[in-house]
Structure 1
Amino acid sequence: MRDGHLYGSLIDILNFGAQLMIVSIGMTLVIAATKGVDLSVGSVVAIAGAIACLNISKGDGSIANVIVAVGTALLVSIVLGVWNGFLVASVGIQPIIATLILMVSGRGVSQLITSGQIITVSNPTYKFIGAGSLLTLPFSIFIVAIVFLIAFLLTRKTALGLFIESVGCKPTASRLAGVKSKTVMFFVYMFCSLCAGVAGLLLSSNVSSADGNNAGLWVELDAILAVVIGGTSLNGGRFYLGGTVVGALIIQTLTTTIYMIGVPPEITLVVKAFVVLIVCLIQSEAFRKSLAFRWKTRSYPAEKEVKQHA
């Protein structure tokens, strides 16, 4: 305990992993409903942080100014999600290509907002969002809990979760059964971008600055890995929000541990690549059947020899 709140490695994992957990929750619904991924979440993180910090730096620093800045950033994030949903659901572009457009252009937009510079802010109210404490715990954890609760209630206590799973499993059959698949796709992309916007606010408020070039860089890859580790199928149709949160914590624990033991940060990317490979092989039905076939062919001669002796 220090200055009225807990600190240490576990608290750092929870605090720094908050952004990844929120982005991964949104990514879970996208993968479950579209059998694709949202590669634009990193750019949305940068844009949301840039808009919020720009408005606060030009404002009077009051609470109302912070609320307007946060609201504007989240509104823009939703609009970006509508754009992704339009390209995927209405135009029919593949999700990975549609979101790649915003991934590339969004990074440029964030740099235009910041004029290629790092915008710094010194506002206690805004800093509390990502670096404050409540009940001895980081305030960001409570934001993660709220986002998780909203996603859980919408997908497990309403018919929306069934619609997402049905669209992800059999989109044509769902449409013929009366499910508005386009509306479901619009929703998941809007929610995913909103989650990325919240993560951008947490990240920029934690460091009291907005970096349009590096903020949220490669977070989409970590989010996809967290979703896969959590048990959500990349083929769509089923998802586990709780498993996604656990997967995000595993990734953040891995990253924090590597930093703490003094291993070069570049090794983190290599380790994550091996984790992705292993998880994808485990989820591959063809790979599992191949292992089962080899195990049977190896054990069959031994069983035959035992029977002959008997």
Structure 2
Amino acid sequence: MSFSFSSLDRRWILPIFALAAILLANLILSPGFFAVRMVDGHFYGSVIDIVHRATPLGFVALGMAVVIATGGIDLSVGAIIAICGATAAVLLRTTEMAPALILLIALGVGLLCGVWNGFLVAFLDIQPIVATLILMVAGRGIAQMITGGQIITFHSDLMSFLGSGYLLALPVRVLLMAVFALALGLILRRTALGLFLEAVGGNAAASRLAGIDARWVRLSAYALSGLCSACAGIILTADIRGADANNAGLWLELDAILAVVIGGAALKGGRFGLGLTLIGALVIQSLTTSILVSGLPPQYTLVVKALVILAVLFLQSPRLGSIRLGRG
């Protein structure tokens, strides 16, 4: 079995190269960028902060990668984040329920939102971009209804621990992200589910002839995306000790899609990689940090971000790879 640079190695090399280049630019802008020191029993530094801040995007991007593998898209992840965050905050503020139970309820709400999207896509055959756009629009309103249009604050030791706590000198949220990604990777690569996802996304007709029920595979993918968004919503809510239905997860779906694409996944479905998706999330967060470090005016932030990401995607273009191979 032979492997070509254009089909396999380049999928890893280019995202890693992009991440390294952005981190190097940060080092030039701030000589102490890679300095990591111990403060109050935990590691502190810009690199740690990048990984820390990339955690919510990492959760959402993992779910988005699974959905895109089926040939779909999920535009509702930001709204699901707002709904789950609002649910957790209101229950923590107004009830005496155990915080652990409230977290399970919030995760269940996210899972139900994903099941709703999956039902529309898989069983009613609605186009994914339209089906998830419904919840993207309505979800913000639902979150605002839950919070009464107010920013709900709360106090919870468990949420504080999840949002800004440390374990083994590392941020708890980062450790949770690592455990979740590892578990998801094992499930998708050690069971038939991962193969089913790629089969449905790569060729739905052929997978149906092979006896795979594409409807339940797609439903599972959207349910997982909803669960991942719920995890991100809990982390973001825990981080600020409150729920802001208007701004929680706003436009995070776009960064998640970019992270998946930077990771080399095909938007038409089939191919995907969880590790590469997480690297894509780090690329986006590192880019955001570098823009802040550079001191650029806020109005240039999105433009610079778009240009750099466009350059990464251009280097990943299959057409560019075929030109290089043709010249070789």
TM-score, scaled relative to structure 1: 0.89
CA contact (8 A) 2:262 2:313 kept: no
> Which SS does the other structure have where 1:6 is aligned?
strand
In the alignment, which residue of structure 1 is the partner of 2:67?
Answer: 30
CA drift at 1:285: 4.4
Pick aligned residue for 2:170 from 119, 124, 137: 137
In structure 2, what is the equivalent of residue 120 of structure 1? Answer: 153
1:112-151 deviation digits (Å, cap 9, x = unpaired): 1111110011222211111110011000011101210121
Query: Mapping of 1:11-160 within 5 angstroms?
Result: 11-33=48-70, 35-60=71-96, 65-160=98-193
Q: Deviations 1:257-296 (Å, cap 9, x if unpaired)? A: 211222233433212322443344445545666x569x97
Are 1:9 and 2:42 matched, yes or no? no
Is contact 2:288–2:305 with CA below 8 Å preserved after alignment?
no
User: Retained in 2: the 8 A contact 1:228–1:279?
Assistant: no
* 1:21-68, Cα deviation, whole Å (9 max, x unpaired): 1110110000011x22100000011111110010001124xxx62112
Aligned partner of 1:219: which letter?
A: L
Q: 1:267 aligns with which of 286, 290, 300?
A: 300
1: CA distance, partners of 2:305 / 2:117: 27
Deviations 1:199-231 (A, max 9, x none): 000001011010000000000000001111111
**Distance in 1 separating the partners of 2:186 and 2:278:** 16
Q: Secondary structure at the match of 1:116?
A: coil
**Structure 2 counterpart of 1:250, from 283, 295, 299:** 283
Partner of 2:198: 165
Output one character per residue of 1:2-32: Cα deviation in whole Å (capped at 9) or x when no partner: 1111111111111111000111011000001
In 1, are the aligned partners of 2:103 and 2:234 still within 8 Å (CA)? yes
**d(CA) in 1 for partners of 2:252, 2:193:** 26
Deviations 1:228-262 (A, max 9, x none): 11111112111111000111011111111211222
* Residue 221 of structure 2 is aligned to residue 222 of structure 1: no
Q: Deviations over 1:66-113 (max 9, x none)?
A: 112111111111110110001100111111111011000001111111
Q: Identify which of 232, 239, 242 aligns with 2:272.
A: 239
For the aligned residue pairs, the C-alpha RMSD in angstroms reads 1.8
* In structure 2, distance between residues paired with 1:256 and 1:279: 17
Compare CA radii of gyration and give the structure with the larger one: 1
CA contact (8 A) 2:57 2:255 kept: yes
Provide the residue aligned with 1:211 in structure 2. 244
Moved over 3 A (4+): 275-289
| Secondary structure of 1:161 counterpart | helix
> 1:307 aligns to what?
none
Deviates more, 1:258-267 or 1:123-132: 258-267
Inter-partner Cα distance in structure 2 for 1:102 and 1:283: 32
Question: What is aligned with 2:4?
Answer: none
Unmatched runs of 5 consecutive residues or more in structure 1: 300-310
SS at 2:44 equivalent: coil
Task: Give the total of aligned pairs.
Answer: 291
Letter in structure 2 aligned against 1:56: L
Contact 1:24 1:226 in 2 (8 A): yes
Cα distance in 1 for residues equivalent to 2:279 and 2:39: 27
Deviation, 1:163, is 0.5
Unmatched tracts of structure 2, length 5 or more: 1-37
SS of the residue corresponding to residue 17 of structure 1 reads helix
C-alpha distance in 2, partners of 1:121/1:30? 33
